[in-house]
Structure 1
Amino acid sequence: MEDPWKREFEFAVEVARKAGAEIRKAGESEIRVMTKSCTVDLVTKTDERVEKIIIGSLKEEFGEGTHCFIGEESVAKGEACVLTDKPTWIIDPVDGTTNFVHGFPFVAVSIGFAVNKELEFGVVYSCLEDKMYKAQKGKGAFCNDEPIQVSDVQDIKKSIIISEHGVDRSPEKVTKIFSTMQKILCIPVHGLRGSGTAATNMCLVACGAVEAFFEIGIHCWDIAAGAVIVKEAGGLLLDVNGGPFDLMSRRMVSANSDTIAQRIIKEIEIFPVVRDDALVQKK
């Protein structure tokens, strides 16, 4: 059976690599000569420049108006964050901007592609590591063209769990986040980790380096590509309450197995977040 999205998938890999080169260039030529306190404008400009490269390249390749786009920087500027049945690219141009500023070596380009609200493929390029993760629905997951799969650990006490504390520093949310982490750590698990980028975290689940990743407060562009990669590597995705995964809900558990996922879910202290598709942007 012919793959209807083969061309899009192969081009996504190509444009992700191109975007990653731009990120490395910005880091090498500009950030090193600036103080940390002066990098906010640079990060914003890099995000915007890389997103323009990605979306511009896609429009040039496939034609203006043929596809829809959900991009982190576009949404920040007031574009709608609505997933329709149309072919839609879901893009995080620089996932891990704080890492980028500090030279912490986990920064990713994340490109997901959905049709009829179903994710068809995902590409995550961890550009400072030069690791290209990719997956198409029903075709397996790969890192630098080598097949990857989730770990076979079923004992939560032998697992490594990965999570992030998010960007919301309100005391009530921070308290819930760290209370959850404390409860999981005291199961006990082997360890808790955080790379600073959701896309990379999901790829770490997919390649078996960690058993699960969970977070409340992420966005669809952080996890769309990674969701396909985790599934195709043999993992699963759930809501933090144990229900079905919802890309727009801003809450997710990705894990190597239902056994590990359900054990983590028992400990998660849920707090409210506004859905991506419920945000009303003012232009």
Structure 2
Amino acid sequence: MASSEENEMYSKQWEGCMEIAVQTARTAGQVIREAFKHEKEVSTKSSPVDLVTETDRLVEDLIISSLREKYPSHRFIGEESSAAGEKCLLTDNPTWIIDPIDGTCNFIHSFPMVAVSIGFAVNKELEFGVIYHCLDENLYTARKGHGAFCNGIQLQVSKETDMSKALILTEIGAKRDPATLKIFSGNMERLLKAQVHGIRVIGSATLALCQVASGAADAYYQFGLHCWDIAAAAVIIREAGGNVIDTSGGPLDLMSRRIVAAGTVEMAHYIAREIQTITYERDDHNAN
């Protein structure tokens, strides 16, 4: 077991990494803001609604090359590099988990919910997260054991436990076949029967999760997102006092492509019990 001195040494080391992540996210955000003004070249990946632009690839290259220059021994998991065939493998090594543009569909349509997300894990444990809302220039940050902040102001989740007073966020996901859409709409119907105040879809998982961290929304659930959508935001929600779990009700599995996040344990587990699973292939399905 590591001594308190060793733990403090590692904590300071990751603090330096987070400072670099903040600088890198801001630089990437500048590139995205400039590209936001212009026509985008769009192509598809796994499905007609799984979209990518040249800016996604450019920004991921910028982030990874900047970080690799400073930390050549670290590992990297990126959305576009994974889409290009690189294995999505989380090991004990220090690992950066990167979404260059979360909300690509929003970006294409100039809908302003667009963010850069940079998470960092060591020994398969999330250490810090940085999410930069490029258009509003809101910077969300959190480091394990040190709280969560937006532009330096500390975040606090909602403490609501009553579903009839809740605002819930979700996303549709990439699968749009009739059977999947039936489950998706059924899940919304179950929560609406609980008389929730509302359900919102904003097109950016990371920014939706930041709304939970800030207390603006009470909970979020989704099937079909990826580890790069979850990593940074999970740290931010936990450090804001919230709960992040698997849709089964168990601990979060970063590679499972499913999540429930809420300000309170009661609300997180209520949603996990109510919703029906939509199955997606794990992020690490090709890791072996």
The aligned residue for residue 48 of structure 1 is 57
The DSSP-based 3-state class of the residue aligned with 1:113 is strand
Residue type matched to 2:158 in 1? S
1:176 to 183, 188, 192: 183
The aligned residue for residue 57 of structure 1 is 66
The aligned residue for residue 13 of structure 2 is 4
For 2:265 and 2:165, the matched residues in 1 are separated by: 15
1:13 to 22, 27, 30: 22
Q: How far 1:43 sits from its partner (Å)?
A: 4.6
The aligned residue for residue 101 of structure 1 is 108
2:76 to 53, 69, 75: 69
Gapped regions of structure 2 (runs ≥ 5): 1-7, 45-50
Q: 1:8 to 1:261 in 2, by over 3 A?
A: same
1:242 to 229, 243, 249: 249
Q: Any conservation in 1 of the 2:148–2:239 contact (CA below 8 Å)?
A: yes
Residue type matched to 1:231 in 2? R
Determine if the alignment matches structure 1 residue 134 to structure 2 residue 141. yes
2:34 to 25, 42, 52: 25
Within a 5 Å distance, the mapping from 1:64-213 to structure 2 comes to 64=72, 66-213=73-220
Q: How far 1:279 sits from its partner (Å)?
A: 3.4
Q: How far 1:204 sits from its partner (Å)?
A: 0.4
The size of the alignment, in residue pairs, is 273
* TM-score of the two chains, using structure 2 as the length reference: 0.92
For 1:280 and 1:238, the matched residues in 2 are separated by: 23
Q: How far 1:40 sits from its partner (Å)?
A: 3.7
For 1:86 and 1:70, the matched residues in 2 are separated by: 12
Q: CA RMSD in A?
A: 1.5
Gapped regions of structure 1 (runs ≥ 5): none
For 2:135 and 2:182, the matched residues in 1 are separated by: 32
Q: 1:56 to 1:209 in 2, by over 3 A?
A: same
Q: How far 1:183 sits from its partner (Å)?
A: 1.1
* TM-score of the two chains, using structure 1 as the length reference: 0.93
Residue type matched to 1:59 in 2? R
Q: How far 1:44 sits from its partner (Å)?
A: 2.1
For 1:122 and 1:185, the matched residues in 2 are separated by: 32
For 2:223 and 2:270, the matched residues in 1 are separated by: 17
For 2:76 and 2:194, the matched residues in 1 are separated by: 41
For 1:96 and 1:17, the matched residues in 2 are separated by: 17
Q: How far 1:280 sits from its partner (Å)?
A: 6.4
The aligned residue for residue 221 of structure 1 is 228
The DSSP-based 3-state class of the residue aligned with 1:277 is coil
The DSSP-based 3-state class of the residue aligned with 1:50 is helix
* Over 4 Å off, 4+ runs: none
1:278 to 261, 269, 285: 285
Q: How far 1:59 sits from its partner (Å)?
A: 1.3
Residue type matched to 2:68 in 1? K
Q: Any conservation in 1 of the 2:89–2:287 contact (CA below 8 Å)?
A: no
The DSSP-based 3-state class of the residue aligned with 2:68 is helix
Q: Any conservation in 1 of the 2:99–2:116 contact (CA below 8 Å)?
A: yes
